[in-house]
Amino acid sequence: MRSRNSSQVVLPEDWQNGGFGLYIHWPFCMAKCPYCDFNSHVAKTIDQERWAKAYVKEINRIGAETKDKVLRSVFFGGGTPSLMSPETVATVLDAVRATWRTENDVEITLEANPTSVEAGRFRGYAQAGVNRLSMGIQALNDTDLRALGRMHSAEEALRAFDIARTHFNRVSFDLIYGRQNQSVSDWEVELRQALSLAVDHLSLYQLTIEDGTAFGDRYRLGKLRGLPDEDRAADLWDVTQSICNDLGFPAYEVSNHAKHGHESRHNKVYWQYGDYAGIGPGAHGRLTLDGRRFTTEAPKAPGAWLELVEADRPGEYAREALSVDDQATEFLLMGLRLTSGINRTRLSAMVGDKYDGNIQSLVDAGLLFADDLNIKATEAGRPLLNGLLRELLRD
């Protein structure tokens, strides 16, 4: 099989294998968590009406370019989107429905923090059209919640979770493990408790220390102690996979577990390399327009983004056409996170046999499975995914 020239573009139909989603970034939080490197900001006052108008304006602008696409999912991320008023969410979703055709079972997710104030908004979000809630619980004991800089207690989290279940059929929540001084047995008890509560989906993230965060600063100064070493991190991973499998929540992605049929449709748009529009400060997008695939990125600062939108200056956003090689790299980086892996025909359509030698080497090492249809990480390869991808993409 011949390799394709990197300047060629992928057939515009390729994105349809992943579908089309909309990401809306709400950049505000009540406080900045010490582990968080997301684009989030603390503000004393927020003009909700002004922000709603700006989101609608951006929906109209991007919608004019993408009216041929059928919307599979909407995701309100942040920041803390549960600081949005239900009226703001309703205004945005009214604009979405007026702009795009949607799939019959369109998934509309909103991220929420489980404080009592935000929990009181859940009914309003459901009435606005949100049909899936993703809750940032992060830990089920107060000591670790305080260490993570969270503003809620474990009791508040469970109470908010109960309220969420009365308004939404689909509820997910996040937990962080690999925390300071967390033993494998402690995590096993906490994970079993979480799975006994879970509705249909869990996101389970090992704590990572990111530059530019409060935890990053403490770690650099040697003040963040009790983090797991490599062996304990591996044991935590193994226990997570085993317990989730046994209790009916297998991993469908590196950090995401769900009952069969309840995977996050929006996140699968990313992982299956579909198209998605990103709206809001710092939001990223991938859009196929006129047969070319573009990466988009909005300005990060909330005030700068708001002023650009209100002044009708979208030309100042970053938009860059992706080469086929770049698309293939992204396709591999995203798709191999999925337990089901990637479609080999799609990869071949992009770059021919460019990576076949590396793929075979990793198959021989027991880290990849590959046949004529699919490529996916093996059970041994999944916990080593970052290193596996480096080897796969090596020239």
Q: What is the CATH number of the domain that holds 335?
A: 1.10.10.920
Residues 81 and 208 in one domain: yes
Residues 30 and 128 in one domain: yes
Q: Confidence class of residue 227 from pLDDT cuts 50, 70 and 90?
A: confident
Residue 19, pLDDT above cutoff 60 = yes
Greater confidence (216 vs 6) lies with: 216
Residues 262 and 330 in one domain: no
From start to end of the chain, where are the E strands? 20-26, 28-29, 41-42, 70-78, 101-112, 132-138, 170-177, 201-206, 251-253, 256-258, 275-279, 284-289, 292-297, 318-321, 342-343, 368-370, 374-377
Domain boundary among 224, 246, 270: 270
Residues 329 and 252 in one domain: no
Q: Which of 210-214, 232-236, 343-347, 374-378 has the lowest mean pLDDT?
A: 210-214
User: 108: closest CA among 125, 83, 84, 91?
Assistant: 125
- Cis before 387? omega within 30: no
Structural domain includes residue 126: yes
Q: What is the pLDDT of residue 32?
A: 55
Give 282's DSSP letter. Answer: T
Residues 261 and 359 in one domain: no
Give 5's DSSP letter. Answer: P
Provide CB contacts within 8 A for 344, sequence distance 6+: 370, 371, 372, 373, 374, 375
Structural domain includes residue 87: yes
Q: What is the pLDDT of residue 53?
A: 97
Which whole number is the average pLDDT over 35-45? 64
Q: What is the mean pLDDT of the chain?
A: 90
Structural domain includes residue 2: no
Residues 339 and 195 in one domain: no
Greater confidence (361 vs 13) lies with: 361
Residues 92 and 182 in one domain: yes
Structural domain includes residue 313: no
Structural domain includes residue 280: no
Residue 124, pLDDT above cutoff 50 = yes
Supply the angle between the helices 324-335 and 344-351 in degrees, to the nearest 10. Answer: 160
Residues 372 and 238 in one domain: no
Q: Confidence class of residue 354 from pLDDT cuts 50, 70 and 90?
A: very high
* Angle at 120 (CA atoms; ends 115, 122), nearest 5 degrees: 100
Residue 5, pLDDT above cutoff 90 = no
Domain boundary among 235, 253, 270: 270
Q: What is the pLDDT of residue 87?
A: 97
Q: What is the pLDDT of residue 2?
A: 37
Residues 66 and 184 in one domain: yes
Structural domain includes residue 44: yes
Residue 150, pLDDT above cutoff 90 = no
Greater confidence (41 vs 83) lies with: 83
Residues 246 and 164 in one domain: yes
Which whole number is the average pLDDT over 323-337? 94
Residue 117, pLDDT above cutoff 90 = no
Which whole number is the average pLDDT over 275-281? 96
Residue 119, pLDDT above cutoff 80 = no
Q: Confidence class of residue 284 from pLDDT cuts 50, 70 and 90?
A: very high
Greater confidence (134 vs 79) lies with: 134
Tens of pLDDT, residue by residue over 210-226, are: 777 777 777 678 777 87
Residue 294, pLDDT above cutoff 60 = yes
Domain boundary among 270, 286, 303: 270
Q: Which of 93-107, 207-221, 328-342 has the lowest mean pLDDT?
A: 207-221
Q: What is the CATH number of the domain that holds 189?
A: 3.20.20.70
Specify the number of domains making up the chain: 2
Residues 247 and 337 in one domain: no
pTM score > 0.75 for this model? yes
Tens of pLDDT, residue by residue over 168-210, are: 999 999 999 999 999 999 999 999 999 999 999 999 999 887 7
Structural domain includes residue 177: yes
Domain that holds residue 333: 324-395
Residues 200 and 59 in one domain: yes
Structural domain includes residue 108: yes
DSSP-derived secondary structure for 60-101: HHHHHH-TTSEEEEEEEEES-GGGS-HHHHHHHHHHHHHHSE
In the chain, % of residues over pLDDT 70: 93
Q: What is the pLDDT of residue 3?
A: 41
Q: Confidence class of residue 275 from pLDDT cuts 50, 70 and 90?
A: very high
